[in-house]
Amino acid sequence: MHEGFLFLSVGVIGALIGSFLNVCIFRLPRGESIAWPGSHCPACAHPIASYDNIPLVSYLWLGGRCRSCRALISLRYPLVEATNALGYLAIFWSFGPGWTSVLYALLFSALVVVTGTDLTHKIIPNVITLPGLAIGLLGAATVLPVGFINALLGVAMGGGILWLLAWLSPYLFGKEGMGGGDIKLVAMVGSFLGWKPALLTIMIGSLAGSVIGISLIALRFMKRDDYIPFGPFLVLGALLSMFFTQSLLDWYQGLLGFGS
């Protein structure tokens, strides 16, 4: 009973914070304040009442439409709320109660915002990654299992490798490579998780991005020169690294024959 209540509370908190993440995803790329004005309909600007702003429940109750103008509400809103709630539950299940889970939940929410802004506006806000990097280093120096030196290496190696690739891209491929937002994103991940997960984040993100990109080109959904945001693929790598670092490393070493 006690454990069930804890999980329910974590899920509710995750959904509530997910509602705020929607505000961040919508307003940060536009340079708007995330504190003022209050929540309002993007179509008619009518303020949203508190009883119409209950995560997940209000969307279902209103049938996915604004109560005032009946405009469709983007499916992104309940998806972000549900994703953040499920992410918090997965973190609580994997790492248990404590400050480690709190900080990993903070990282998870930052990654949700990064995914949303990169998909909609091709922007990874500095206001998310730079404070996140600082919080990760502070957490590593105090409560996170990664340790401060490992976290520093994660920032240097994760961000450094992407910076080097971005610097080399015009010379090797004749065009600009990934943006500074991707570099800061991996540096932030490294500050929370350390250098091995940071490298895994880059490897998994690159592999996933290549497979998806080649598939979309082959199916003619996009052209070879079209831009695909890299941030969401790095986020995928970061999440897999957060939960499965050792399993992924063991698998990779076995693949190379190091485990035999």
DSSP 230: S
Instruction: Quote the pTM value.
Output: 0.92
Instruction: Count the Cβ atoms, other than its own, within 10 Å of residue 235.
Output: 24
DSSP state string for 116-183: HHHHHHS---HHHHHHHHHHHHHHHHHT-TT-HHHHHHHHHHHHHHHHHHHHHHHHHTSS--S-HHHH
Closest CA to 136 of 127, 126, 128, 144: 144
Collapsing DSSP to helix, strand or coil, 72 comes out as: strand
Average pLDDT in the chain: 91
Q: Residue 65 phi/psi, 5° resolution?
A: -135, 150
DSSP state string for 26-47: HHGGGT--SSSS--B-TTT-PB
pLDDT digits (tens, 9 = 90+) for 138-188: 999 999 999 999 999 999 999 999 998 888 776 665 566 667 899 999 999
Angle, vertex CA 236, rays to CA 258 and CA 168, nearest 5:
75
Closest CA to 130 of 187, 88, 172: 187
Residue 228 clears pLDDT 90, i.e. is over it: no
Tokens of 149: 């030196």
Tokens of 218: 């082959």
pLDDT digits (tens, 9 = 90+) for 109-138: 999 999 999 999 999 999 999 999 999 999
Question: Which pLDDT score is estimated for 45?
Answer: 87
